[in-house]
A and B are shown apart, each in its own frame.
Chain A
Amino acid sequence: MAPGSPPGPAIATMKLNERSLAFYATCDAPVDNAGFLYKKGGRHAAYHRRWFVLRGNMLFYFEDAASREPVGVIILEGCTVELVEAAEEFAFAVRFAGTRARTYVLAAESQDAMEGWVKALSRASFDYLRLVVRELEQQLAAVRGGGGMALPQPQPQSLPLPPSLPSAPAPVLSLPSAPAPVPALPLPRRPSALPPKENGCAVWSTEATFRPGPEPPPPPPRRRASAPHGPLDMAPFARLHECYGQEIRALRGQWLSSRVQP
């Protein structure tokens, strides 16, 4: 949670564009989840009630819902979301890999809220989103058929996208590696640059000059399924997704059985 460096001038903390982060946290766009959660201060610390806002792969927390600036942010890459044994009801944890990694213990105020948060957080990583996008890219290419890819019609302005498919041949897409705790192999270089489309003018990345370009290299296999059943390398995406679904269902099963209390 807090930058881990000890006090003193010897070790500088990493710079981060915190001001931009704060603007991202409080901008007008719809959020992916929001609500009050209790956050455990540290291993032996008390819980503090904070207003949490999930946006993309960033979990911001504020003193309260009206605060203009976050107290902090949890960057949600390479983590798993689990139930925990805790004195608090509706508790769950965001756990990171690594020897001295932090585990964030959070508690919701209801069963529904907890389930909602666990679902939202376990699908919050950029990695996960990228997997889904790749899968859909493949599907779209498949339904459009082989050579001579037709360009899609320009969208009506309800979607702020002027879409266009690249004129480069579709690259071979390797299936993303499964979430196994092994270090990623060195990645192949991306195919060479897209035919340039910019005319040198400023382009906001938030305005979608959308271009599904050559595939980025496969994401590193970082997110660990709760019970890896041997190598899932090259598993079809549906199986991979089933693993995510299984985690959710397993958690749900645990919640339901834990509710049957005398």
Chain B
Amino acid sequence: MRYNEKELQALSRQPAEMAAELGMRGPKKGSVLKRRLVKLVVNFLFYFRTDEAEPVGALLLERCRVIREEPGTFSISFIEDPERKYHFECSSEEQCQEWMEALRRASYEFMRRSLIFYRNEIRKVTGKDPLEQFGISEEARFQLSGLQA
């Protein structure tokens, strides 16, 4: 699949929600743990060799699953292939917890559901649709029907 790699690389240079050096192991059998600078920017997780400016790779964090593995370790996998896991080793339980929380909230789809939730809560309290003032109340992307059943 083609993609605008230059722009993705530029995105990897933007300020990150979270960034840390973690141990990372790819999903293939026999993968070795490697030190990587891992950086969360919007709904992408970039990973760099620790001394390089360009990322080795990126993971789009949509339809992903973040679970605890061994103590201090979590994995990311994707709905369509849950056994194919990217492992991340943290330096502490607290760091592991922090990353898992952040990654679970990192997807566009999660953010969209947050919006719909807030919209409804505000509507319930005030009787008004908060998106109307911004002229986006009819946007397809913010409708309740946009939620996956």
Contact = CB atoms under 8 A, between A and B. Distances in A.
Interface string B15-29: 111100000000000
Given A144-B125, A193-B101, A216-B17, A206 B148 contact: yes
Contacts of B60: 16-17, 20-21, 24, 58
Interface string B115-127: 1111111100110
Interface in A193-220: 193-194, 196, 198, 200-206, 208-213, 216-217, 219-220
B15 A186 contact: yes
B10 interface: yes
Given A16-B58, A72-B2, A73-B3, A159 B144 contact: yes
Interface in B94-149: 94, 97-98, 100-101, 103-122, 125-126, 130-131, 133-136, 139-141, 144-149
Contact of A2 (B2, B65, B118, B147): B2
A210 B115 CA distance: 11
Interface string B54-84: 1111111111111110000000001111000
B131 to A, nearest CB: 8
Nearest to B126: A143
B103 to A, nearest CB: 7
A21 B58 CA distance: 11
Interface string A1-28: 1111100000001111111111110011
Contacts of A227: none
B1 interface: yes
Nearest to A11: B54
Interface residues on B, range: 35 or more
Nearest to A194: B101
A98 interface: yes
Given A1-B2, A144-B125, A23 B65 contact: no
A139 B145 contact: no
Contacts of A126: 42-43, 108, 111
5 contacts: A20-B80, A24-B60, A101-B10, A194-B101, A205-B66
Given A14-B5, A23-B80, 11 more contacts: A20-B63, A33-B140, A56-B112, A73-B3, A75-B11, A129-B111, A132-B134, A132-B136, A159-B144, A202-B67, A203-B66
Interface of A: 1-5, 13-24, 27-30, 32-33, 56-58, 69-75, 77-79, 96-98, 100-102, 119-120, 123-127, 129-130, 132-133, 135-137, 139-140, 143-144, 152, 155, 158-161, 163, 184, 186-187, 190, 193-194, 196, 198, 200-206, 208-213, 216-217, 219-220, 222, 238, 241, 245
